[in-house]
Amino acid sequence: MTARRVADRAALRLGLLAGLIVLWQVATTASPHVFFPPPSVILGRLWDGWLASPAAVSGHLLPSLARLLAGWLTAIAIGLAVGTGVGLSRRLAELVEPSAQFLRSIPPPALIPLFIVLLGIGDAMKIAMIAFGVVWPVFVNTIDGVRSVDPLQLDTARAYRIGRRDRLALIVLPSAAPRIFAGLRISLSVAVIVMVLSEMVATVNGVGYVLVNAQHAFRSVDVWATIVLLGVIGYSLNLGLGAIEARVLRWQGGAMRLGT
Amino acid sequence: MSEAASPPADRTPLLEVAGLRHRYGRHPAGRVAIDDVSFRVARGEFLAIVGPSGSGKTTLLRCVAGLVTPTSGSIRLDGHPVSDVPEKLAIVFQDYSRSLFPWLTVRANVEMPLRRLGLTRAGRTERIARALAEVGLAQTGALYPWQLSGGMQQRVAIARALAFEPALLLMDEPFGSVDAQTRADLQDMILEVWQRHGSTVLFVTHDIDEAVYLGDRVLVLSPPPARIAREIAIDLERPRDQIATREQRRFAELRAAVARLIHRPPPDAPTGRAG
Amino acid sequence: MSSPFPTRALRGLAGAAVLFALLEAVTRAHIVDPTYLPPASSVLATTATLLTDPGFLAQVGATLAAWAVGLLSAVAIGVPLGILLGSSARWYAASITAIEFVRPVPSVALIPLAILLLGQDLDMKAALVAFASLWPVLFNTIYGMHEVDPVARDTARAFGYGRLAVARMVALPSAAPFIYTGIRVAAAFALILAVATELIAGGSLGLGAWMARMSETGVDRRFLYAGIVVTGLLGLVINAAMVAAERRLFGWHHRVRAA
């Protein structure tokens, strides 16, 4: 790849984005609009209002992230455990799946009033909501992954009479891992969505709280800055999960070629 | 050579299959894959089973392996009836890319069946090293299956079977997915390994040449519902050689006999009885 | 592989029955004050009543309206855009960075912004729903276009068909199942956004707003729970309908892929 082509590619990729941002900056500086602040102002607020502000970080950002992590990890543990069990047993699956289908069709926002009524407006309610929203993609994808273990590998395990624990840990779960990770990635976006939602209704701290507060006070710069912050959070979390996935599934790249 | 390998006084057959019959599905009108197949395999014998495609060869092997419960008939391994997967049995499938575990190294793949045998770690390591050396893959322990060629992957699957030290080794068209040159190499390797270990091998293939080249006896299956059309003793000398053995006239005669049976099975195929 | 339908249906019903019995037992045990957690059976009765109440059904209709308008807009924009971006490497490369920049932002976070910019009426709701639904449609369309078998495409070109004809005859039918999956996912997102917007933006129309009212102090909690059941049923019905339609339209696709 010549340097010229690399530069070309990079220019193309960044071109549109950079172009739009520049356009926006120019337009809003030239004719200011109350609700469309220039990108420079937004980024400035992102810095001194959020990232560089200890009060914001410790008072809102960290609590939000802590709740997110707590809910997400709880849901993963439950989703993996129950999903594996259900995926391995056809009988159990047929018992459970219709009810699970219904429960996971309930859109998370519909459950917010319920969770508030039952758990109040503290951390417990938010963590529980996040967990409830996140468990379903993990659950469904774990079942899918466990079910799609190659039957030839199961036959090999049977022929050699490989023990149950070995079979689960060394064959079923590694084989299901790609699909499980796909579920984890979806669950991460759901977690961020529910986290924000749970903080937008009757709460005292958190990123969502700041967002709604800013809107009520018509502070549009803060609104934009918080939105960008959420984008950054979502992007970073995804990056982190992707790194973990790459490490755990490092055999997959080669194995995919195996299949051809 | 063969005498030294087989245990002196034990002449009972290792495997006895009697009246094996298998029908797919629960429906009485389901397809009958195998219909009344009986044969015996002596200890230390290399028995090849050959038949046209779809003749139920794989089903037969899976019944012997205990992976499939036949509709009727009996299978006895070492005197014990086979109802589920028996101990001391190893199977090598045709599709090596799917029977090896891609997330484990070669060494870990070979080790997998050994984990429940109650060996020490040193014992396992020794068996693995020996098995890999035997199939010519001594230095590949730390590699992953996808880093090896097709032929090498199948060798890993064979090494896995060997390390397990099974009483009976089942092979289901193991060389069907590799190129001709690799196939020849693998054939010679399996013969060498068989003789050195004194194992008993049940080898299923659709390749007539391969069956005649490898086996002590060849069982010819008719098209489904499969029966044993005939049993042919292969009286070619051992050790076999890819060029010299295949040059012999006797090879051509045996090969032709098998081919005729496959293409034109005798009208009323008798239920071949093993001698 | 799965059990025959009667067995499956019975097992499914049994599972649901067990769940219901558990809920009934828990709620009747008065672990939590029954004004907050009424018995499951009475919730079901309330649900039945609600489903025949025209005032409530108007709320459901309002949510569905926003959902439908938003989803259709998203499809109308996302599918053509996705086809364009998916079929041209240059356009894809140019736009992907911008798209990836916007994508991580959770759509619900845009609700306050939309309130600021657009006020609190149906248009705002539909616009938000459309924005949230756009991304699954767009991405799945692009992905579907990328999955088109180059051999099939080359064969058509070799027969002398122009780019547009090839797109119509080969690329579109091949990408269609993926596009449909994107629409199915978008439909679920759309419902989430519709209800979330109603909940947060206040206003008086829609299931979200209705449930916010039902959770105020003094109101019989059974309505709240019944509303949740109805919302869940709504989601279930939408998804089931889309899956059934998919099977009809794209049964061939699954058979081919499974082969």
Contact B144 A153 (CB under 8 A): no
pLDDT of C120 strictly over 80: no
CA A165 to chain B, closest CA, distance in angstroms equals: 11
Residue of C nearest to A211 (CA): C112
CA B259 to chain A, closest CA, distance in angstroms equals: 31
Per-residue confidence (pLDDT) for residue A28, from 0 to 100 = 82
pLDDT of A5 strictly over 80: no
Contact A118 C18 (CB under 8 A): no
Per-residue confidence (pLDDT) for residue C221, from 0 to 100 = 83
Q: Which residue has the higher pLDDT, A253 or B212?
A: B212
Residue of C nearest to A228 (CA): C105
Q: How many domains does chain C have?
A: 2
CATH fold for the domain made of A42-259 = MetI-like fold (1.10.3720)
Which chains share 3+ C-beta pairs under 8 angstroms with A?
Answer: B, C
CB B221, CB B53: distance < 8 Å:
no
Burial state string for A9-34 with b = 16 or more CB within 10 A and e = fewer than 16: eeebbeebbeeebeebeeebeeeeee
CA C31 to chain A, closest CA, distance in angstroms equals: 12
Query: A171 contacts in B (CB within 8 Å)?
Result: 101
Whether chain A has a CB inside 8 Å of the CB on C251: the answer is no
C76 shares its domain with C171: yes
Query: A235 contacts in C (CB within 8 Å)?
Result: 104
Q: Of A171, A120, A165, A122, which Cα lies nearest the Cα of A145? A: A171
Inspect the structure and tell me whether chains A and B have 3 or more CB pairs less than 8 Å apart. yes
d(CA B226, CA B271): 10
d(CA B91, CA B63): 12
Query: What are the counts of helices (DSSP H) followed by strands (DSSP E) for chain B?
Result: 10, 10
CA A170 to chain B, closest CA, distance in angstroms equals: 9
Query: A200 contacts in C (CB within 8 Å)?
Result: 108, 111-112, 200
Query: C7 contacts in A (CB within 8 Å)?
Result: 94
Contact C93 A99 (CB under 8 A): no
Contact B146 A251 (CB under 8 A): yes
C3 shares its domain with C105: no
Residue of C nearest to A100 (CA): C16
Two structure tokens written together for C142: 């692009």
C9 shares its domain with C85: no
Per-residue confidence (pLDDT) for residue A1, from 0 to 100 = 57
Contact A255 B91 (CB under 8 A): no
CB B255, CB B212: distance < 8 Å:
yes
pLDDT of B203 strictly over 90: yes
So what's the ipTM on this one? 0.83
SS3 of residue B46 by DSSP: strand
CB B101, CB A174: distance < 8 Å:
yes
Task: Name the residue ranges covered by the structural domains of chain B.
Answer: 9-88+166-275, 101-165
CB A135, CB A126: distance < 8 Å:
no
Mean of the pLDDT values across residues A38-53?
88
The residue segments making up the domain with residue C14 are: 1-31
| Mutate which: A156, A181, A248, vs B, most B CBs within 10 A | A156
Averaged pLDDT of chain B: 85
**Per-residue pLDDT tens over the stretch C134-182:** 988 998 888 888 888 888 888 888 888 877 777 777 888 888 888 888 8
Query: A165 contacts in B (CB within 8 Å)?
Result: none
Q: Of A45, A194, A219, which Cα lies nearest the Cα of C115? A: A219
Contact A150 B112 (CB under 8 A): no
Contact C2 A196 (CB under 8 A): no
Which chains share 3+ C-beta pairs under 8 angstroms with C?
Answer: A
d(CA B226, CA B203): 17
- Among C112, C211, C236, whose Cβ lies nearest the Cβ of A211? C112
pLDDT of B266 strictly over 70: no
Per-residue confidence (pLDDT) for residue C253, from 0 to 100 = 67
**Per-residue pLDDT tens over the stretch B118-155:** 889 999 999 999 999 989 899 898 999 989 998 899 99
pLDDT of B270 strictly over 80: no
Q: How many CB pairs under 8 A join A and C?
A: 164
Per-residue confidence (pLDDT) for residue A223, from 0 to 100 = 92
Work out the pLDDT band at A78, boundaries 50, 70, 90. very high
Work out the pLDDT band at B272, boundaries 50, 70, 90. very low
A12-16, B181-185, C189-193: which range is least confident on average?
Answer: A12-16
Whether chain C has a CB inside 8 Å of the CB on A80: the answer is no
Query: C101 contacts in A (CB within 8 Å)?
Result: 17, 231
pLDDT of A79 strictly over 90: yes
- Among C14, C104, C112, whose Cβ lies nearest the Cβ of A235? C104
- Among B95, B115, B164, whose Cβ lies nearest the Cβ of A152? B95
Please provide the distance, in angstroms rounded to a whole number, between the alpha carbons at the two ends of chain A.
Answer: 27
C74 shares its domain with C159: yes
d(CA C176, CA C233): 28
Assigned superfamily of B9-88+166-275: P-loop containing nucleotide triphosphate hydrolases (3.40.50.300)
Query: A259 contacts in B (CB within 8 Å)?
Result: 97
Q: Of B191, B218, B188, B222, which Cα lies nearest the Cα of B205? A: B218
**Per-residue pLDDT tens over the stretch C80-105:** 998 888 877 788 887 888 888 888 88
Per-residue confidence (pLDDT) for residue B3, from 0 to 100 = 43
B19-28, B94-103, B243-252, C203-212: which range is least confident on average?
Answer: B19-28
Q: What angle do CA C55, C61, C64 make, to 5 degrees?
A: 150
Query: C232 contacts in A (CB within 8 Å)?
Result: 102-103, 105-106, 110
- Among A158, A162, A259, whose Cβ lies nearest the Cβ of B67? A158
pLDDT of B47 strictly over 90: yes
Strand order in the sheet with B32-41: B32-41, B15-23, B72-77, B80-81
Per-residue confidence (pLDDT) for residue B131, from 0 to 100 = 92
Contact B85 A161 (CB under 8 A): yes
Query: C16 contacts in A (CB within 8 Å)?
Result: 98-99, 102
Q: Which residue has the higher pLDDT, C73 or C169?
A: C73
Question: Which residues are bridge partners to B34 per DSSP?
Answer: B22, B226
Q: What size, in residues, is chain C?
A: 259
CA A224 to chain C, closest CA, distance in angstroms equals: 7
Per-residue confidence (pLDDT) for residue A25, from 0 to 100 = 86
Query: B65 contacts in A (CB within 8 Å)?
Result: 159
Above pLDDT 70, what percent of chain A?
Answer: 96
Contact C101 A231 (CB under 8 A): yes
Considering only residues 40 to 69 of chain A, which have any Cβ-Cβ distance to chain C shorter than 8 Å? none
CA B51 to chain A, closest CA, distance in angstroms equals: 22
Contact C214 A113 (CB under 8 A): yes
Residue of A nearest to C4 (CA): A94
Whether chain C has a CB inside 8 Å of the CB on A33: the answer is no
| Mutate which: C116, C125, C143, vs A, most A CBs within 10 A | C116
Q: CA A9, A13, A18, A24 torsion: positive or negative?
A: positive
C219 shares its domain with C146: yes
| Mutate which: A160, A168, A172, A179, vs B, most B CBs within 10 A | A160
Has this prediction a pTM greater than 0.95? no
- Among C96, C192, C232, whose Cβ lies nearest the Cβ of A102? C232
C27 shares its domain with C43: no
Considering only residues 180 to 209 of chain C, which have any Cβ-Cβ distance to chain A shorter than 8 Å? 188, 191-192, 195-196, 199-200, 207-208
Question: Which residues are bridge partners to B74 per DSSP?
Answer: B18
Contact B85 A254 (CB under 8 A): no
Contact C116 A218 (CB under 8 A): yes
Mean of the pLDDT values across residues B50-72?
84
Per-residue confidence (pLDDT) for residue A32, from 0 to 100 = 79
Q: Residue B81: how many CB atoms within 10 A of its CB? A: 10
Contact C13 A98 (CB under 8 A): yes
Whether chain C has a CB inside 8 Å of the CB on A137: the answer is no
Per-residue confidence (pLDDT) for residue A257, from 0 to 100 = 45
Whether chain A has a CB inside 8 Å of the CB on C215: the answer is yes
- Among A111, A192, A230, whose Cβ lies nearest the Cβ of C228? A111
CA distances from C101 to A104, B269, C67, C120, C140 (A): 29, 72, 25, 27, 17
